[in-house]
Structure 1
Amino acid sequence: MTGQAGPRHVVVLPALCWNPRRQDFYAVTADVTAEGIRLRSSARLAAGEDLTCSIRHIGQLEVRITQVAGQDFVVGVRGGRATLNGLARQFVTLARAQNFRPEPIRGHHRIVPAQKTVEITLECGLSFSGHVLNVSASGIGLLIDRAVGIGETIRVGSRAARVVRHFEHGIGAAFLEPLEPSAVHAAMTL
């Protein structure tokens, strides 16, 4: 998926990545462009590193990290033109199915905290666990297995938030009272 610049297709899919020199680690796709697949993870990675990534709805891919910037890293898929064209079609189809609008410019830096499991409480009092994809001073991305309506107020750990978007198996929620940017770090707890 390398080559000339083109459109960016936002698609959020969980992934498990590994290689013989490192333990398995979780990542989540962020978008796909002609430059490659951008993922996010709390793992410390290096450009040039080869990985095997199993991405939900896509399958297992052999990739090489081409760029690393903070929690984000871009991978190029190893394979012939037919393989790359087929993957591009799969990603575009999944991006459309997730019904994303163009991603707005974000005012706050997002991180993946070390503590990824969080308790979520609905307005009705029902509580269940969720998986934190990322968090910023203004909001949070969560993988959950329950239906929660857009506009619904929820409690994420000790923080009140309003659901602002849906994606496959998850939600985006904006904190009712934003965090101080200095409170957003890998060791944070919600």
Structure 2
Amino acid sequence: MALAHKFPPPTPVREERRRFQRVKVHLLGRYMLQDQREFPCQVVNMSPGGLAMYAPGIGAVGERVIAYLDHIGRVEGKITRLIDNGFAMTVSATPRKRDKLAAQLTWLANRDILNLPEDRRHDRIIPRNPSGLLTLEGGSKVPCRIIDLSLSGAAVSSTTRPELGTLLMLGRVQARVVRHLEEGFAIEFLHAQLPDTVEDSVTAR
């Protein structure tokens, strides 16, 4: 009977709305539907009990979804309703996980109030060696110029312009495209880097 309660029962939508306050967020990520198709997504509002996202692949109401979201990590639940260009879903979580989500969402809401589009705790620098190499999802490699760099991300210029949410590698650092710039695009590292090794890591070939 170990599998009897693999997933906590989803909170009814009306109950979820009463218990949790949703906050407007701008979170990129990827999600997988029950048939294992995977798509990029953008979460537009979220609470510890549910979220709404813009999504190119829309499942059926009641369908199970697993999502991996920037700053949040893995969440799973079921589609509760369809919206324009996306859907709303529950978030199945233990009370401890919901408390953690509430703290993360408070931080994200405060960050947006301060008009910080990404984590600016790390100062940006101009790297000594601006020459980098991008490895795209399909395995193709594209030379790039590193415009500036921090422990949590970088701005780069190249002949390619990946879509928002695209996963790639800069050198040997895993990253995700978070914003398009006039002369390139910004990426956010999936894991914060160390000051002593970040330049060597992003310029590795």
What TM-score, normalized by structure 1, do the two folds share?
A: 0.51
Match of 1:74?
Answer: 88
Does the alignment pair 1:88 with 2:132?
no
Match of 2:38?
Answer: 24
Q: For the structure 1 residues 12 and 82, does the alpha-carbon distance in structure 2 shift closer, same or farther, using more than 3 Å as the test? A: same
Aligned-partner Cα distance in 2 for 1:44–1:51:
10
Match of 2:161?
Answer: 129
Match of 2:120?
Answer: none
Structure 1 or 2, whichever has the larger Rg, is 2
Say if 1:40 and 1:71, in contact at 8 Å, map to a contact too: yes
Report the CA distance between 1:44 and its aligned residue: 2.2
Match of 1:12?
Answer: 26
1:57 partner SS: coil
Query: What letter corresponds to residue 96 of structure 1 in structure 2?
Result: N
Query: What letter corresponds to residue 25 of structure 1 in structure 2?
Result: F
Q: Which runs of 5+ in 2 are unaligned?
A: 1-10, 116-157, 166-176, 189-205
1:131 partner SS: coil
What TM-score, normalized by structure 2, do the two folds share?
A: 0.48
The C-alpha deviation readout for 1:147-185, integer Å capped at 9, x for no partner, is x5xxxxx69xxxxxxxxxxxx96xxxxxxxxxxxxxxxx
The C-alpha deviation readout for 1:59-78, integer Å capped at 9, x for no partner, is 11121111111213111111
Aligned-partner Cα distance in 2 for 1:19–1:72:
13
Match of 2:179?
Answer: 144
Report the CA distance between 1:33 and its aligned residue: 4.0
Match of 2:145?
Answer: none
Does the alignment pair 1:45 with 2:90?
no
Report the CA distance between 1:100 and its aligned residue: 6.9
2:57 partner SS: coil
Give RMSD over aligned pairs.
3.4
Q: Which runs of 5+ in 1 are unaligned?
A: 102-125, 134-141, 149-153, 156-167, 170-190
Q: For the structure 1 residues 98 and 128, does the alpha-carbon distance in structure 2 shift closer, same or farther, using more than 3 Å as the test? A: farther
Aligned-partner Cα distance in 2 for 1:43–1:24:
8
Does the alignment pair 1:56 with 2:70?
yes
Aligned-partner Cα distance in 2 for 1:17–1:90:
19
Aligned-partner Cα distance in 2 for 1:20–1:75:
13
Query: 4+ residue stretches of structure 1 with deviation over 6 A?
Result: none
Q: For the structure 1 residues 34 and 58, does the alpha-carbon distance in structure 2 shift closer, same or farther, using more than 3 Å as the test? A: closer
